Structure 1
């Protein structure tokens, strides 16, 4: 009888635990639903609940499952799974825009959004707190404004949130170049209807070059409080501190004819860093978001979000500047300081209503954004030269803080602050004309005051900008196949420029916002019982009103430049058979300057990146037999040549095309997993850049150990 009671008690506990898990699925409707590699029906792309197949916009996602299976220890590693994206610059750590730069659909961008709100980072994003990365394609100014988007799209990081039962995972990654990474994810109820989750990591790794390292600590506590069946609160916090010795970026000359005609010299110096581990830069990031989700009625909900952010920079930044003699580069160095503070307030009202028998999904939003730049640090000073031919550095023995500080004593950098304020309102309505035919109509009004960038020497004129968006979706096979088209608008405010009049007097020229307009057509398919998703589209983006040099006076700037970027993309993600996960994509982009500065007309912009980008990863886990739970993964990343410098009178310098292969071997049980990952199997030397030449990481072997509880 005693055994029966024990069994009954255990069964009751198991049923309660299962009910709690089921309640998560029903109560946490605001969270992303993840199945394998597929994210079901993300709301972020249009700030309302839309199935992917009925969404007239393209977005790609990378979730925590992909990150874990690939042993991705950096944000850049995770982004290699997104169709058509490539890194241009590593993180410099400098103030205000020191984060990594990427290119997508022909335009540069940074990761400046967390949970749909602005969140700036002068270093890198740590993968430990990531639930999903969303790459939302095209100029999305209508719903996100002009301060955080690129004309090619935006990157939005969805963070891990608390759930309703105790659980967690700890992990350790040991790898090449001294990699040590420890992660922890702990979730627990802490009171009635109150739940907490903490994600944390510590990482240290050396460079593949002769000097350089990266060390960071990251903690992300979050809280969920269910006040009632209608009202739920979330508080999400991220704190990160990092210390790094970065190799100086190597810039080709932008102002004189190229003196390099091949990549050979750079390949010969591939492992040369031209820095020391004493010249470090520290970055700290703090972000906090408080969110209240309220169910107004059966058909209407309110979402209120308040966010604050702070980033700080303190340390040495350096770059090598081409001396235009086919050999030497001059080192410029500065000890940087400064910080960026941001405030965001957003209110979204989302609901359903009918006009007659016509169903509507409606969004109304209000948005306030404030950003303050605080400048500091020294000025820039020259500090020796580097010879690629002789592989020498004239200051090799003086790359230490004392010598550099002494050299910078005479430099000056003005200390001050700049501020941006943006007030916005937006609406979006999805009209279901027929059960399988819908139209989206969206618009934004955006009022801007202040300085568009940290480097603007004068405030811009106050501007009010209108941004529309239209979309159409037809589903020949309901919930399985759709054909879509969209028209989207993006905009960016432009900083004033100091010009010279005919008498030699100085004055500030003020400009209207730049505008980008995209039209796109494509198709989406959900196959194999919704286990495989395929998206294919063709897009055309035209940017107008770009600021350019005045043809009649090279010292002045005028408005009127134009860029056209067009191309097609194909993305595949899912689990077509049990045990097999696939994520793959191919993109082709043609981008040209079509009007404006004669130096650039007819040339591919240097921010456009490679024309062709391919990504593939497949992982198969054996389901039965002697090798049950053994997994094998294989993938590749490939890019065509990249014109890192490309303009008339200067010339074109192409970074070679490359293909990098990666593989993994794993063993997975319910509670633990072991993954052995080999990146860059062939030890391929390859480069990226944006008027720069940056060697990328060589072959790296990593072992990941994970335990769930």
Structure 2
């Protein structure tokens, strides 16, 4: 019996061992015979899968004998599926698998695995509205990857954008209706983050980073493909969200830090039906945080469900949503006088105690926000695909908003507080229909997108008027003397809801509603004239229909605009080195204005052409040493023309003739010189000037929205790959800016915000299932400020600790 038992177990383990010892390996290449790293290779209907390495090679081990379907997918390429059969103990080596480019926006599959250059993402289907490698794109854009955000233990959107070359925060989110999201300077012009997965996604508050897969910052006027509603002359910010993937898994994490920061994040993905290729993912976060000042807080709850359904190899659907409930005190801004000289011209002269908030936790704003998107892909043929997209956004503001303004009447750098009760809502609808093709005419390859776009925005404001609510001085003084009355008053204005309601009771409540529509037709074609030389040509026809105030037709107007785009790109070394040049266009619709001397008779309404911005840019992109060194160096020159100005010969007439120039250069580097070491760095310098205007206040001066002239950022992290320190890692970096103008007018003089450099460092340990880390922000702990006709103090040194578990 013992002999029989022994033989039985030997036979069992022999069979079990061989049946679980098969493997499949191979290499993934593109149509140019070049390896593709980071490709998803999975065994369908299983949890077995991997990513290709830097050489495009993959290997899946510990497989049982049997027949399988091997699925190979990568964003921007057409998914391939192939049948394989494995015998016991077989090591199957496949011949090179070629992936051909095609649109895969809705089928982005993510598998945890090793990517060599973790801070670089060189493929996207959003920037050009069709799948295009960065090295093939004549437009410059920065990508902030989820690995970079994880390395820096990012807990808010503002810190995430510090990694984008040439981007500087002008002011943080105020939460107020209509424009409550943060403002950022990009290539000399202000911009707000208003794009999610290539579609409009508005907010009156901050964006939660828990659902961010990556951030794409497109540089330069981008109206040809995206219109002017979500972009600026400097570019646009596109947030790419996390999407469902094949498999089951997720992550939970908890972060705690200085100033009462507590953040819990959950991420869960599962198959609702493997047989039907129906997958569901949900990301959620709850965050609370206090201010470093004497008062102030923010708390938010965020949930983002998403669903993907692949009906068959031709048709697929996706549904995404982001729902946020947030409450905060509006941040402390000191609004500087824009029409009269101030007593102080810098922070030192202002004698500012930046630990004072000049508000209370009783006066808060609530910012509920919802974004929904439905996407449908249908493969019309081997060369054409239809993409239908619908997005809806609603963002609201309710509560108390205060601001402090220096009128220069009371002296002693006195700022007057005004308060109102916000009650506003903005709703948008966007419908796009794209036809995306990849075909040849003769021997010339064309990658084409032809699209129709309808955008609608409706704004409702039922807030109160603004009421005087006391004065403060920057060092902490307070009084109740209304600067607009002759008497000296000593009334006390308590920072409470009861006190605010008492003052606001006499203010009128608004009943304003406005609406506008944009109808657009656009087309873009990337033409491969040769294997190494390509051209990009694009054009947008845009029809703007403004209904304005819905109670009157006097402010109604419409305009039609053509927005062209053109680019040339040459690759001396295919997929490794590219030299490019581009022309890009942006525009802004201009409302009609009344002209004519009212003393000589009724004024007449004069219409104008849209204001335009044109950019010329050239530069170099690299993808060297098997994707270990990605760099972009570019020089741009943007000219804005047709700004409406007062006629120098008549104060009663308006003409189009104002001009602004913004030019500069940018350098961005992402490197992975050795295994485990990743580097991300950027440097930019911008010159901006109003070169033509009837307004001598701003003529030949740097526009305030241009921000600092020089910006720089650097971050590196290293994770030990073996030995006793395997899994341990460190990170360090800095970001900074030159001095900037908060005020820069002829009559007021300058108010200068000082230059700054912020240093950060982290240490972490990462195992198979969990990660723990510590992060020190602003290690030097020096005071620094940002602003745009404002002074906004920034948080001092803080310490974060995080722990996460993957399953």
Q: Identify the TM-score tier after normalising by the shorter chain.
A: over 0.9
3-state SS, counterpart of residue 66 of structure 1: helix
Is the CA contact (8 Å cut-off) linking 2:637 and 2:664 kept in structure 1? yes
Say whether residues 1:495 and 2:591 are aligned partners. yes
Find 2:420's aligned residue among 315, 330, 334: 334
Is the CA contact (8 Å cut-off) linking 2:470 and 2:493 kept in structure 1? no
Find 1:154's aligned residue among 223, 236, 242: 236
3-state SS, counterpart of residue 367 of structure 2: strand
What residue number does 2:104 align with?
Answer: 29
What residue number does 1:54 align with?
Answer: 136
Find 1:297's aligned residue among 350, 359, 381: 381
Is the CA contact (8 Å cut-off) linking 1:443 and 1:466 kept in structure 2? yes
What residue number does 1:371 align with?
Answer: 457
1:531 Cα deviation after fit: 2.2
Q: Which has the larger radius of gyration?
A: 2
Say whether residues 1:659 and 2:766 are aligned partners. no
What residue number does 1:544 align with?
Answer: 641
Is the CA contact (8 Å cut-off) linking 2:513 and 2:549 kept in structure 1? no
What residue number does 2:405 align with?
Answer: 321
What residue number does 2:248 align with?
Answer: 166
C-alpha spacing 1:375/1:360, structure 2 compared with 1 (3 Å): same
- Name the CA distance, whole Å, in 2 between partners of 1:656 and 1:563: 25
1:501 Cα deviation after fit: 3.1
- Name the CA distance, whole Å, in 2 between partners of 1:624 and 1:658: 38
- Name the CA distance, whole Å, in 1 between partners of 2:605 and 2:499: 39
Say whether residues 1:402 and 2:498 are aligned partners. yes
Find 1:235's aligned residue among 298, 301, 319: 319
What residue number does 1:386 align with?
Answer: 472
Alignment map for 1:441-590 (pairs within 5 Å): 441-450=537-546, 459-497=555-593, 501-503=597-599, 508-551=605-648, 558-590=655-687
- Name the CA distance, whole Å, in 2 between partners of 1:211 and 1:133: 31
C-alpha spacing 1:216/1:456, structure 2 compared with 1 (3 Å): farther
What residue number does 1:348 align with?
Answer: 434
- Cα deviation, 1:273-305, whole Å, max 9, x if unaligned, reads 000000000001111100001111112111110
C-alpha spacing 1:8/1:605, structure 2 compared with 1 (3 Å): same
What residue number does 1:188 align with?
Answer: 270
3-state SS, counterpart of residue 693 of structure 1: strand
1:497 Cα deviation after fit: 4.4
Q: Which structure's relative contact order is higher, taking Cα pairs within 8 Å and 6+ residues apart?
A: 1
User: RMSD value over aligned CA atoms?
Assistant: 2.3
- Name the CA distance, whole Å, in 2 between partners of 1:231 and 1:175: 46
1:502 Cα deviation after fit: 3.0
Find 2:443's aligned residue among 348, 357, 363: 357
What TM-score results when the alignment is normalised by the length of structure 2?
Answer: 0.84
C-alpha spacing 1:381/1:507, structure 2 compared with 1 (3 Å): farther
Find 2:737's aligned residue among 639, 659, 668: 639
Is the CA contact (8 Å cut-off) linking 2:616 and 2:637 kept in structure 1? yes
What residue number does 1:86 align with?
Answer: 168
Q: 257-266 or 390-399: which moved more? A: 390-399
- Name the CA distance, whole Å, in 1 between partners of 2:405 and 2:676: 51
1:32 Cα deviation after fit: 8.4
Find 2:296's aligned residue among 209, 212, 215: 212
C-alpha spacing 1:24/1:264, structure 2 compared with 1 (3 Å): farther
- Cα deviation, 1:289-345, whole Å, max 9, x if unaligned, reads 000011111121111101111111101111100032351000011111110111110
Unpaired runs of 5+ residues, structure 2, are 1-10, 24-41, 52-69, 80-102, 481-490
1:425 Cα deviation after fit: 0.6
Is the CA contact (8 Å cut-off) linking 1:225 and 1:232 kept in structure 2? yes
Is the CA contact (8 Å cut-off) linking 1:189 and 1:195 kept in structure 2? yes
- Name the CA distance, whole Å, in 1 between partners of 2:555 and 2:632: 42
Say whether residues 1:130 and 2:205 are aligned partners. no
C-alpha spacing 1:556/1:100, structure 2 compared with 1 (3 Å): farther
C-alpha spacing 1:595/1:231, structure 2 compared with 1 (3 Å): same
1:9 Cα deviation after fit: 7.5
- Name the CA distance, whole Å, in 1 between partners of 2:319 and 2:551: 33
3-state SS, counterpart of residue 264 of structure 1: helix
C-alpha spacing 1:330/1:273, structure 2 compared with 1 (3 Å): same
- Cα deviation, 1:131-177, whole Å, max 9, x if unaligned, reads 11000000001000111111000000111110110010111000000
Is the CA contact (8 Å cut-off) linking 2:350 and 2:413 kept in structure 1? no
What residue number does 2:57 align with?
Answer: none
C-alpha spacing 1:318/1:24, structure 2 compared with 1 (3 Å): farther
What residue number does 2:516 align with?
Answer: 420
Matched residue count: 709
